Every structure is written in structure tokens, then in C-alpha cells.
Structure 1
Amino acid sequence: MRKILSIFLTGLLLFVLAACTATKDAGKESDSKDGKDSGEKVLYLNNGAEPTSFDPPIGFDSYSWTALNNLMEGLTRLNADHEPEGAMAEKWDVSEDGKVYTFHIREDAKWSNGDDVTAGDFVFAWKRLLDPETGSPAAFLGYFIEGGEAFNNGEGPADDVKVNAVDDKTFEVTLTSPQAYFLSVISNPAFFPINEKVATENPEWFAEADTFVANGPFKLTEWEHDSHFVMEKNDQYWDADSVKLDKVNWAMVNDSNTDYQLYKTGELDTADVPADLSKQLFEEGKVNVEDQAGTYFYRFNLDKEPFQNKNIRKAFAMAVDQQQMVDFVTKNKEKPAYGFVSSGFKDPSGNDFRETSGDLVKTNVEEAKALLEKGMEEEGYDKLPEVTLTYSTSDTHQKIAEALQQMFKENLDVDVKLANMEWNVFQDEQKAGKFQLSRSSFLADYGDPINFLENFQSGHSMNRTAWSNEEYDNLIKQAKNEADEAKRFELMYKAEKILMEDMPIIPIHFYNYVYLQNEDVSGIVRHPVGYMELKWADKK
């Protein structure tokens, strides 16, 4: 197994996806203000918004899986170096052809209610991830399991999904082809087990603190929706001796300035850096900066006029100045994005994917104007149909949207309307294809470029652009089944060029994680794939 994730610096971005209303109790715990009086070690963090869901296959976003990663645990877990190590699985065997994995679950692997974690819990959870009735946005991650894609597409039965409980503590899975990154993928929260007995008795077990059953370092003890939630150390966890914190209190504040003020007053232990204060804070040397595998971008909807036309899409994309966006709008030292796959992925020659693939879209105002004119002629437009740009509520997203609006006006003489809505509504509407042009973000689910590119396959749950290209689909399929790494990367380079030539998206910037942290706090690991690890965290 090559070191999949050692290529990254750590990273996490808490403001990426959602929106919520700050409450007067943000950053405070209902039972104890700071934990110091009782001698407890309490960490105060900001989740940014109400989690979408604590149901593992549904909570497929940073506002859910950051918490889930600390409440639950899969067969493997990413360690401090971002490499997969044994977690619920003590060890595993791999067949000679690299397709069959046999995991041996720890004898002391327990649920927070005292039940044993069994191989059956993994069979139940993984089939549920792939069940079309579940409607998981993460189901595509399980397509490398034999029978998984057919089951999810309604073309095959659950019985054909090759996951099997050999006995209570032995779990076997058969893959469609050898996957170099398999052990990293299954550390993702989508692959966490679910206590089958609990879920059968109460299908909504994940919806409230008093019914939530955990198997990770922490358990959920309080959840006041749209306000805060609290985790406490899980004494049933197999590695509880490694967990130093007693509690973690999560606020829900979607405004970076409020977040910062709560940090300044000691009510939060970490904070994002508001764009308005970034220059000062960077100069004072108080800011931590780490890279992350992810991209901030906008999606066109090819089912909505005028973006069925490729030249009009390219005109809008080339009217955007990514360098100005990071220099004067976000101001957090992000790298401008001129392709979709972020940097940090090395091909077999040791070259970075992003550098090799190159700049596939660049600001060019004159060409953008010519392309807009050409596209309008092709469609017979005397006047461009009205365009509305939609984003989810957050001060950061608003600033980027306003900057885009100004660029489209100045560079194309196009008036674009802005609309915003609360995260959960926004997410549902975007999935339903109701927006013309809308804000998006992608955080890598595992450490490989294919994870970025697979999102834009025809009909993929993460596509959300109505874009479809048969050649692109074939390249992704070939790459997923190619054992020769050099050939696999060549297929991915070709695929990204097609994606950016057809331009169903506008990349804006690559993510980094820019944050402030209490000097008394140590041991937090921020994984490049988008979630925070608190198992080894400590606080003086």
C-alpha cells in the first residue's frame, strides 16, 4: 500500500457548506460554562450550522462528517499522518488478486450502549449506503464493491452486493478491481457501521442525542437543534485511553466575524479568519495555514437557458478573475483554481497532477466577450435571458457572489441577479436542478484525483449540472479499472481537459484551512479530506 495521503499537508474548512443562525448561547455549554471548575477538559468548537444529518450515509458534508468522524469509527481510521490504520478492524488479509479483503474486527469493539460491534453491523450499513431507497449522496463511493453499482441503480439485488459476515467478528468484501486507495476510502464516514439492532428498532436513532448510539472516541450527549450539541468521551471505545478530552461543545455560528469575536472572548477555542481582519492577523503571526484537498467552484445548469450553450458558459468562466478573488475578496492565501483537481497529488513520475494538467481556464476578457457574442448568435438571442446566481447563506459566500456579479457586469456587460438561501434548502434545490448558476464546493473524500473527476459522470449524484459526455464517462470508467498507475493518470489528465473544455463549472479557488487556535489546545488533526480529528486532542 503506497502512502496515499502523505502528499498533503493537513486541512479542514468549517465554513464550506452551510448556514445557520447564531444564538446567544453559541460557544457556551448548557450545564457548565467552561468545565474548569469541575476539572474537566472541555473543547469549544464552532460547527458553523446544524448538521445535515448524523445518519452516516446521509451526512455527506463537512457540517455532518466532522462530528460523525469523532462519534463513530469505520474499519480503518486516518492517523496523524493521514494514512489509514486499523480501527474497528484489528487486522485484515488481502487476496492475491487484490480484490478480496477479509477484516478481523476487534473483540473489544463496542457500541456506546455496550453492544458488540459485529461484522453484521458493517454488512447492514454498507448495503444501506448502496440501497437506492436510502438516497445517499455518497453511494457512488461504494461502486467498487462487486454488485454495488447495480444495486444502487436498481439493476441488481442486495444479495449480489459482495459484503459478507463470515462470523460475528469477520467481515469480507469483494471489489470489482484492485483499488490502491481502498483502505483510505473506507475511513470515510459513509462507511461507518450502524448498530443493526438499534436501527431496526428505531429507524430514526440518529436524530436525537438520547437515541444516538456511537462507536467512536466520543458519544453524543446533548443536541439542541439549531443551537449546539455536546459530545463526551465514550468509555466503551476500544482505545478510550488515548482520548484526553472529557467533552467537546459545538456551537453553530455561520458568520465569520461573530465566530472570531467568540474566539477573542474565550468562548471558542478555534476560529476562522474573517477576510476583513486577515491582513492584520497574518501580520501579527497569529494565523495557521494548511493546505486542503478541495475546490470552491460554481455550477452551470445545462438544462437552464442560456447555459445549454458551451460558448456562453465559457464566456462566463473566462470573465472571472480567480487571482483577484483570492487577493481581494477571500484574502486567506488560497491558490486560484484554473482546473478542477487541486494540487497535492503525485503521479508515478513524482509530478504534481495540477502542474502537469496545467491551467485549463484563464481570465481573458476579450475572448470572453467574443464567445458570448458567438453563443448568443448560435442561440438566436437578441438579448441574453435573465441570469440568477444562487448561493447558500454565509458572509464569505456572499462576498464571492457579489464579486462575480461585478465581474460579469464589467467584463461582459451582463446584469446577474443574486439570490441566497439557508443551506439545507439550498442543497435540496440544487440537487433538484432548480438553479441556473450556483455556488458549490468539493472536499476530497479520499486521496486520489479520480475522486474529483468521478463527480461529473453522466447522471452522477454529485454532478448537478445536467452535463453529460460519453468520452468523459468512458475515460473515468477506464481509470477506475486501470491497474497501471502511469496509464491511469494519463486517462485522468485527458478527462480533466474534456471537463474544462466543455465548462459545466467555473473553478474559483482551491481550499486551504486558515484558522486561529487557543495556545492551550494541542493534538487536533485536520485531515486533507475535510474532517477534524479530536481523538488525540488535548487542552491544558
Structure 2
Amino acid sequence: MKKWVVMMLVALGLMVVLAACTTTGGTGTDGGDSGDDENETTDNEGGGDKILRLNNENEPTSLDSTKAFDNVSYNILNNLMEGLTRLGDTHEPEEATAESWDVSDDGLTYTFTIREDANWSNGEPVTAGDFEFAWKRLADPETAADAAFLTDLIEGASEFNNGDGSADDMAVTALDDKTLEVTLNSPQAYFLSIISNPAFFPVHQETVEADDNWAAEADTFVGNGPFALTSWSHNSNLVMDKSAEYWDSGNVKLDGVVWEMVSDRNTEYQLFQTGELHTSSIPTELAEQLIADGEVEFEDQSGTYFYRFNTEMEPFQNQNIRKAFSMAVDQQEIVDYVTKREENAAHGFVAYGFPEPSGQDFRDVGGDLISFDPEEAKALLEQGMEEEGYAELPEITLSYNTSDEHKLIAEVLQDMYKEHLDVEVTLANTEWNVFLEAQQNLEMQFSRSSFIADFADPINYLESFVTGSSMNRTGWSNDEYDQFIADAKSEADEEARFDLMHQAEEILLEEAPIFPIYFYNQPLLQADEVTGIVRHPVGYIELKWADLQ
């Protein structure tokens, strides 16, 4: 075992002791201001017996489904709101706000019928117009929604979004109050899955137009899902109650849910042990023992933990320097000795779990596109420095959002770069919302990131890095890559489509604006009395069917 690993394990043991000595019963925060009620729990346990207590780790960036685009917002939104379809317990899309749909013979036009008893939390009916308004708002360039690219498969949406068309050109039309017609650019089997994503939830038009900040507080929020938002103590906790207006409220078993916002996993684990949380993630330093004791449940999850280079900042404008920093990292050591949750080390960007027409997995067909090779990394660094005329590298700062685990992984990378490249790297941590904005604005030189799949297709991973995408966040651009993605998104032949996606991924890893660390899984601790929570490999947590026995 390497020296840095031994030192890390010793430090982790000390962290456990310190955490046990300093933890209080209150909630933790991610560093944001929350006023005097930071450590108060504002649930309404008197309103019912079945109150599920979960941890969201961080404050949602937004509960406006058109503008939110991250896991900490989506897990909550997926239970406050609902789209035309919802992923069921088999992870396949099923009827939700839409009670049925018809598809044209050419596979391009979908006609959805919305339930008569689908209501907003304010008691008003959900209409096809609410969906048309929401989807066009998502694509509207004035909205500047990060998830706007998800509408590209709809006829006229990308033209509207890039300024070459208008809202009228986007083929989403409310034929009447309960009938929505949508026309696609090409037949895509994943359409019913993608519209279960929170980005495609409806919004209550009158509320949105009356108040730009409608989704910022519990008393102005309007949803249409199985739960209704009742209180929100920012950076502390959020409470939702079973919604009496939900069309399927008879199958919702919980009386309510309390979401804490505790970013420290040791604190989260202690709250679980004392019964203040019903589920918990696993502290890194306890992972091996908890897994060995059989206390850990594993759920599939499609996602990748990775790092981004800012190709517009020195020295990462140089491809060989980016590849050097990529190949100097030993992903296997990180999953074996740091995270220790039985993840697969990542040697490509697209995770496992996407079958090709042949039946083989996309990742197996694509193979390893990046590998740990310190000798080659050193040679590439020297070559890149010569190309740029560097006698020495500019200062390197690796940024990560506040989290003990992100910090540990960043420290391991820092040691690997010193050992394998003889490069000193400075670390910087930032609270999540500030971090995300800075990364989006290309203000960070080198930063950690993660991708959790929004729908069940490899294109979801790869389209993030087309030129100008809000998800790119690297400044990288490659015309050939962009064309492969565009061709894949319009290709109806599945074998040809998968081949195009493989070619795109090869370019992505060869030019290295990013490099992967591991593929996610979902290890968790869950109280015995909890049943019915559905955690989708591709998608978000479902509490509609959850129960407390």
C-alpha cells in the first residue's frame, strides 16, 4: 500500500473520533446562511404518524423544475411534481399525469391525454397548456435553462433555443385543455423515458407569470405531485406533506417527508444511528466494515464521478498536458482505498448499463479509453510544456465543492500529481451553489464534477460536451464530435446510432477535456421499517410508494 494511502487511513480514523466528540443533534449545513432556525426541525409530525426522514445533503439550487438541473434539486422535485410519465418500480416509464397516449405510425407524433382528476396543489386542474408553456419555457433562450438541450429531439426546439426559430415553431401544442400533441425530429425509443425527467414537468402558468420567485419559498410553490411543499428552512430542512390534490393520493402511504441538509457523512450516519434519519449514505472510513457486516444495501445507479479541465485557462489549453494529468491518476487505488464502496473504476465516460442491439453493454464494447500510466503521463507533460514554451507550469488549482469525500479524493490527486508528475497542486473548496455557478462560468481551472444520467441512453452522457452546451463547462469544442452527436440524435438505425456514439466517446477521451474516476453505485443504510422507496439507476428517488411499517 502506498505511503499516502496509509497516511489517509490514519487521518480518517482521527476524523471519526473528532466527529463523535463534536456532533450535536442539530442538522448540518453546506456553509450557507439560514438565519436563526439553522438547527430547528420544522416538520409537522402531529399531522400524521408516517413521517419519513431523509437527507438531501445540500440546499436545492432551485425548485423551479424548468431551471433546476442537479440531483439535490431533482430528488425533491420528483416527489413534489409529476410529468406526463413517471418511472415505475421496474424503472420503465408508465402513465402518470397522462392517462394514455397514441403514437403515429412513423413514430414521430405523440398525442397525450391528461387525466381529468390531475390537479395542482392549489386545487386547479393541470392542463395541456401547462405542459406546452413549461416545455417552451424550457427551450426559450431567455430562460437560459441548463436542461434546454434535452428538448432537442422535439421538432423546432433547438432552432427556438439557438435563436433561429420561435416558440411557435416548437412542435408542442395543447389541442385542448386535456390533449397535448408533440412531434419529434426522428423516432426515438427513449422519448417516454426522457419526459419523466423533472425538466419536463409542467408549471402553473399563472403562478410563474405573476412571481419570478414563485419556487423559492414554500408558501408560493405550486406543484402537482404526490407531496406538497409545506415548509422550507433554507440550508437546514424542507418538509413536504401528502397532497390531497394528487390524482393517485390513495396509493401514497406516507403522511409526509422531512428532508435534512447535512453535507457531512459522519454526521448523517450518526443521525441515522440515533433514529433521526431513516436512511444514510456510508462514511468512507466505515464502508469496509459496514459492507463486511452485511448492513449495506446496494442499488444500481448510472453516473460518473469525474474532473473537468478548463481548456480556456493555462495550462489546460494544451491537449497533451490534459492527458498527462488524466493518466497520472490511478482510479483503481481511489475506489480500493478511498471511497471503498465497491464502485467500478472508470476508464470511459459512459457508465455500464446500456445494452446495444447486439445485447452487449455499451461500456464493454467501448472498452478502456483511458488508463493509469505514469511514465506516459510524464512524457506527455514534457511534450506539452515544450509545445507551450513552458519552463515551468503555471500554478494549478484543483477546486471541489464542500464535502469530506471530495476533499479526500482531491488530496489523493494532489499526492499523485506530486509523485508521478512532480507537480504541486493547490486545493480549493467552495460551497455547492457558489461552486456550480463558478464552474458554469468557466471561472475554475480544474474542478471535480459528477454526472447522473437523466434518461436511459448513452447519448445523455455524450451530448453534454457538444460546443456551447450548458453542461460542457470546459470551454472545449470539437466539430467532428459535434457532428457525431448530431448524427446520432437523428439516426433511427440503432446499430449505426451506437457506432456514432462510440466514435464520439473516443474523441472525448482522446482530447481529454475531462477524465473519469469511477462509476457510481448506490450503497446505503436503511431502517428496517422503511419499504417501497424506489431508487432508479437512471432517474431520481421515488417516494410515491414508500411506507413506514
Q: TM-score range by the shorter chain?
A: over 0.9
Whether the aligned pair in 2 keeps the contact of 1:20 and 1:50 (CA below 8 Å) is: no
Task: Provide Cα deviations, 1:186-218, integer angstroms capped at 9, x if missing partner.
Answer: 000000001112222223221111111111000
Q: How does 1:126-145 map onto structure 2 within 5 Å?
A: 126-145=135-154
Separation of aligned partners in 1, 2:33 and 2:344? 30
Separation of aligned partners in 1, 2:79 and 2:47? 23
Separation of aligned partners in 1, 2:378 and 2:281? 37
Task: Provide Cα deviations, 1:330-354, integer angstroms capped at 9, x if missing partner.
Answer: 1111110000000011100000110
> Could you state the TM-score of these two structures normalised by the residue count of structure 2?
0.93
Structure number with greater CO (CA < 8 Å, separation at least 6) is: 1
Separation of aligned partners in 2, 1:157 and 1:358? 42
Q: How does 1:71-470 map onto structure 2 within 5 Å?
A: 71-470=80-479
Identity among equivalent pairs (%): 62
Whether the aligned pair in 1 keeps the contact of 2:42 and 2:231 (CA below 8 Å) is: no
**SS in structure 2 opposite 1:391?**
strand
Whether the aligned pair in 1 keeps the contact of 2:92 and 2:193 (CA below 8 Å) is: yes
What is the deviation of 1:466? 1.1
1:60 is aligned to 69
Summarize the Cα distance change of 1:38–1:459 in structure 2 as closer, same or farther, 3 Å threshold.
closer
**SS in structure 2 opposite 1:525?**
coil
- Equivalent AA in structure 2 for residue 302 of structure 1: T
Task: Provide Cα deviations, 1:420-475, integer angstroms capped at 9, x if missing partner.
Answer: 11110111111111111101100001000011011111111111111111111111
Summarize the Cα distance change of 1:361–1:183 in structure 2 as closer, same or farther, 3 Å threshold.
same
Whether the aligned pair in 1 keeps the contact of 2:455 and 2:539 (CA below 8 Å) is: no
1:30 to 25, 33, 42: 42
What stretches of structure 1 move > 4 A for 4+ residues in a row?
Answer: 20-28
What is the deviation of 1:283? 1.5
Separation of aligned partners in 2, 1:204 and 1:534? 26
What is the deviation of 1:19? 3.9
Separation of aligned partners in 2, 1:271 and 1:161? 43
- Equivalent AA in structure 2 for residue 413 of structure 1: D
Task: Provide Cα deviations, 1:136-172, integer angstroms capped at 9, x if missing partner.
Answer: 1000000111111111111211111111110000001
Deviates more, 1:527-536 or 1:316-325: 527-536
Summarize the Cα distance change of 1:105–1:39 in structure 2 as closer, same or farther, 3 Å threshold.
closer
**SS in structure 2 opposite 1:346?**
coil
Q: Which runs of 5+ in 1 are unaligned?
A: 1-17
What is the deviation of 1:477? 0.7
Whether the aligned pair in 2 keeps the contact of 1:28 and 1:251 (CA below 8 Å) is: no
**SS in structure 1 opposite 2:146?**
coil
Separation of aligned partners in 2, 1:168 and 1:216? 19
Aligned length: 520
- Equivalent AA in structure 2 for residue 150 of structure 1: E
Whether the aligned pair in 1 keeps the contact of 2:58 and 2:261 (CA below 8 Å) is: yes
What is the deviation of 1:28? 6.8
Separation of aligned partners in 2, 1:407 and 1:467? 25
Task: Provide Cα deviations, 1:267-297, integer angstroms capped at 9, x if missing partner.
Answer: 0000010011111111111001122110000
2:18 is aligned to none
- Equivalent AA in structure 2 for residue 432 of structure 1: N
**SS in structure 2 opposite 1:299?**
strand
Separation of aligned partners in 2, 1:325 and 1:63? 24
Separation of aligned partners in 2, 1:414 and 1:361? 21
Whether the aligned pair in 2 keeps the contact of 1:22 and 1:254 (CA below 8 Å) is: no
Separation of aligned partners in 1, 2:169 and 2:539? 32
More helix per residue: 2
- Equivalent AA in structure 2 for residue 141 of structure 1: L
Whether the aligned pair in 2 keeps the contact of 1:22 and 1:253 (CA below 8 Å) is: no
Task: Provide Cα deviations, 1:31-61, integer angstroms capped at 9, x if missing partner.
Answer: 55xx4x7651000001111110000021110
Q: Which runs of 5+ in 2 are unaligned?
A: 1-28
Q: How does 1:42-57 map onto structure 2 within 5 Å?
A: 42-57=51-66
- Equivalent AA in structure 2 for residue 420 of structure 1: N
Summarize the Cα distance change of 1:146–1:286 in structure 2 as closer, same or farther, 3 Å threshold.
same
Separation of aligned partners in 1, 2:288 and 2:383? 42
Summarize the Cα distance change of 1:428–1:39 in structure 2 as closer, same or farther, 3 Å threshold.
closer
Separation of aligned partners in 2, 1:203 and 1:497? 42
What is the deviation of 1:506? 1.2
1:6 is aligned to none
What is the deviation of 1:266? 0.4
What is the deviation of 1:96? 1.2
Separation of aligned partners in 1, 2:120 and 2:132? 16
Separation of aligned partners in 2, 1:277 and 1:26? 28
Separation of aligned partners in 2, 1:121 and 1:462? 26
Separation of aligned partners in 2, 1:382 and 1:22? 44
What is the deviation of 1:416? 0.5
1:69 counterpart = 2:78? yes
**SS in structure 2 opposite 1:138?**
helix
What is the deviation of 1:25? 7.8
Separation of aligned partners in 2, 1:39 and 1:202? 32
Summarize the Cα distance change of 1:31–1:166 in structure 2 as closer, same or farther, 3 Å threshold.
closer
